Structure 1
């Protein structure tokens, strides 16, 4: 029953096939409308897809190009990073070397020094915090009632220049007051003139001749003169006269004053200045002038001993920075009416050791003051820095800053380290006592004193580790003549005045040449002559020996053969000899200055201490 239908289907297919073969239209099966729409949509989608592929291909090509550019930029950036600071520094050095090849040695040295000086000079000027904060700047000097005599005022500038040239005085500044050749014409009271004559001071020294009129005129001043030239008188008399005028106008009572302050770097120098001022004020009081009260403000002494001075008002304060700051902070007195400030040995006061203290002291001033800076060794660096801090300053220079006193005969001897003690006894026989022996090492100072005592020499010692009582006893017994020899560290070399010192022995040559200048300056003072014997050996740095060699040559002293053989590399390279602007040494430049190296070392040490502070 199943077979007949199958046959019938095959017959139908054969019939259809035969119809196609005869050229008839093929049979198209029926497709529903929904399915037709789907087919058309699929075709459209296929057509659009081909267009997107073309766009995608073109976009892909663009992106590949961008990727290549980014990769190149990354490679350039990587190359830039690979150029280290060292390579850049090498390139800079190479370029500089090429430029330097066209310059002379002198120009290169000048450029190096100017760069280093510019770095050093980048410091705040000396002024109070209030003045710095408010931008207060004074343009006019303090007005005073003092006037030089009429015949001096009528002198021409040519006449003044001839007088300065006669006394080898160099001045810088605007409207410099005229030099005056007698104390009487300076209008100093007869009582002080009489006291000066009793001490065989009859006429002013060059620094006094120009410095006192400058200070009397109210001008800020930088005074430079060799040791023993009378700088103390040049800055103390103006302070006394200003205080005397203020007291005569209206007497001081409790809580008032001071009118003037004198800062010193050491206790001994402050005490010496205090005693001089007291002597001059006593001379005035005996002649009927008002009594002037002076306060000594230094460490190591009890301020209660001077309570009677504090209770009556103070005219002048002589102080070291640390104790002065302590007294000001405790409000024992104030600087509300202070109009005169002098810094003795100013190069040491402004140097890093005391600069912060000086700024602190400045902050207690409430109004303008007259500022004076005095020293025997004031390098160009300190002069430039000080002039920025002063108002229309006058620079008074007698001789080169840092030069040795020409009244001192300098003898330099080569002595082996182990033979120094024995040779010291021989040197002590050159002149009668008193004699000062200097050494830079505190332990060595004690050893020398002990050795001299064992040999029967009456000797005392003074250095920074001694108590104030021991230091005062040493100076008093030496000045009075009870002791023949004083063995001292650098603390006794700055400004101290000892009578009749004919001989100074420098047992250990200081590294900084300006310390040497101060040490030999303890003799040959006030026009007298003296001898300075210096021991050097293989332990003395060659740089120091070169400084010493040029200092001897400048002063016209005999240069021993072993110093003659010390060669200056600057001369070998065709350079020019100039004094170091930092320390004044003639044997080196700023690039290898021992003082600058020591200052840098101390600064770094203080930074390490500060960084390490606060720990447990």
Structure 2
């Protein structure tokens, strides 16, 4: 069914347990998003679901609320399995579920992803887990080692199923889902509907209810502009647009890993603070780039679609399509990362003559006329594109019991740094990152190197 937004629908209209409704209210979840209003009633009724929804639409709550209601807290066997394409998305989904699950005690969520040591994951599973969130490759590893039992799972969620298929996970998904009971609820979420999503649904689902929310973007929220340039001008045109618009931050999308590297090198050579994000990078390096971008010590991220999955930035003023994708649904997905929560966003796209067919496809998909300018019409200016903060990397994280407050205390206490000069603090398992205003970054670095955090010395470096 096609769901069109109507008057705000309240979570209180769903007849949920009082404790859950109160917890949702404490998270400022009052009105359902379009995908939640469309997906929750059939999902709560136990139906299988194919839902078309993009990142940032509130889809996690749309599948997490129904699966949480079926969890038996006294049974520490795996009762729900959520498969995601990347570690970043898995972590984000697991964190959201933990918040939603606060209304009941002792619900254990375990994240199983590659790029991390398998030993601690096995240890976590030995203590039991109600909900498993992870990537297909690592879930398959645990099933092979018999460290994970999914024979009693009652809900399977395939999140961003189109991306998992793009990444070649079809066989892994088939092997994993085959080990769950045939009498289960299967919820499939996808931003696009290629043919293989249909095939996946036929294989895994029983009479699924289809829900789809409007995926076109309102020009009042996202301004889309297209610029025609020569193929040989593409890098120079990106540089020109960044200087002309000077956004606080932006994601620059390319279609291939090599093009990401080339664009990033071009910008870096011109003194622009840009970082590359693509699938060939080590997980540690990807984590570092994610954090620097979120902390804004790196203003511009040059990325492929697959690598950018799971990167959820609340306030992203601009997206630039260095290359237009072949699939107009991917264009819509990229553009949907800006202009969230009612804020205005810009989506700028470069196009060469031989790619006019892509513009036509986007126009058909969005059911709108597309106008474009030639890049020469953009004024030549030089803006300050440098970041205002630097990121300090501390060789200690959650596993060393380091908390954000400890880092803030070390900087503002003994180090004497003004708290206003300290930005975002991100603590991961074995490493922590803190943003500090540029003018005080070296002072903060020196104080942390020579001082202590929580009474202990840690190695610290400036990225």
TM range (shorter): 0.7 to 0.9
Q: Report the number of matched residues.
A: 371
Equivalents in 1 of 2:9, 2:216: separation in Å? 25
Structure-2 separation of matches of 1:165 and 1:518: 18
Pair 1:426-2:264 in alignment: no
* Cα separation, partners in 2 of 1:431 and 1:205, compared to 1, 3 Å: farther
Q: Is the CA contact 2:163–2:306 (under 8 Å) kept in the aligned structure 1?
A: no
- What SS is found at the alignment partner of 2:168? helix
The 1-side partners of 2:263 and 2:167 are apart by: 31
Conserved 8 A contact 1:494-1:518 = no
Find out whether 1:229 has 2:41 as its counterpart: no
User: Of Structure 1 and Structure 2, which has the larger fraction of its residues in helix?
Assistant: 1
Question: CA-to-partner distance for each residue in 1:222-250, whole Å, 9 max, x for gaps?
Answer: 1113443211221122223322xx10xx2
1:314 counterpart (113, 129, 138): 129
Query: Map of 1:574-613 to 2, 5 A cutoff?
Result: none
* 1:245-324 matches, cutoff 5 A: 246-247=72-73, 250-252=74-76, 257-281=77-101, 283-284=102-103, 289-324=104-139
State the partner residue of 1:167: 6
Deviation at 1:307? 4.7
**Is the Cα–Cα contact under 8 Å of residues 341 and 370 in structure 1 kept in the other structure?**
yes
- Measure the CA separation in 2 of the matches of 1:456 and 1:196: 45
Q: Secondary structure at the match of 1:233?
A: helix
Tell me what 2:148 maps to. 333
Query: Where is the strand percentage greater, Structure 1 or Structure 2?
Result: 2
* Conserved 8 A contact 2:157-2:186: yes
Question: In 2 relative to 1, CA 536–166 (structure 1 residues): closer, same or farther, beyond 3 Å?
Answer: closer
Match of 1:375 among 181, 186, 190: 190
- Structure 2 gaps of 5+ residues are 375-463
Shift of 1:292: 1.6
The structure with the larger Rg is: 1
Q: Is the 8 A contact 1:268 1:492 kept in 2?
A: no
1:166 Cα shift?
5.5
Aligned-partner Cα distance in 2 for 1:499–1:376: 19
For structure 1, the 5+ residue unaligned runs are 1-160, 169-179, 563-616
Change (3 A) 1:528 1:198: farther
Shift in CA distance, 389/279, structure 1 to aligned 2, threshold 3 Å: closer
Counterparts of 1:504 and 1:192, CA distance in 2: 36
Counterpart CA distance in 1 for 2:164 and 2:69 is 25
CA distance in 2, matches of 1:327, 1:273: 20
Cα RMSD for the two superposed structures: 2.9
Corresponding residue number in structure 2 for 1:157 = none
Cα distance between partner residues in 2 of 1:496 and 1:182:
28
Does the 8 Å contact 1:258/1:317 carry over to 2? yes
**DSSP 3-state at the match of 2:169:** helix
CA deviations over 1:226-284 (Å, ceiling 9, x no partner): 443211221122223322xx10xx242xxxx2111111122322222223223334x43
Q: Secondary structure at the match of 2:255?
A: coil
The equivalent position to 1:550 in structure 2, one of 354, 364, 375, is 364
Question: Does structure 1 conserve the Cα–Cα contact (< 8 Å) formed by 2:363 and 2:370?
Answer: no
State whether residues 405 and 524 of structure 1, in contact with CA within 8 Å, keep that contact through their aligned partners in structure 2.
no
C-alpha change, 1:388 and 1:463, in structure 2 (3 Å) is: closer
Structure 1 residue 369 displacement after superposition: 1.1
SS of the equivalent of 1:500 reads: coil
Q: Where in structure 2 are the equivalents of 1:95-494 lying within 5 Å?
A: 167=6, 181-188=9-16, 200-243=28-71, 246-247=72-73, 250-252=74-76, 257-281=77-101, 283-284=102-103, 289-349=104-164, 353-379=168-194, 382-383=197-198, 386-387=201-202, 389-399=204-214, 403-406=215-218, 407-429=221-243, 430=245, 432-494=247-309
Distance 1:361-1:182 versus aligned 2 partners, 3 A rule: same
Instruction: Report the counterpart of residue 129 of structure 1 in structure 2.
Output: none
- Partner residue of 1:537? 352
With the length of structure 1 as denominator, give the TM-score of the two structures: 0.55
Cα deviation, residue 452, structure 1: 2.8
Query: How big is the shift at 1:417?
Result: 2.7
Deviations 1:468-519 (A, max 9, x none): 1011111122123332111111224445421101100011122233322222
Q: Which residue of 2 aligns with 1:514?
A: 329
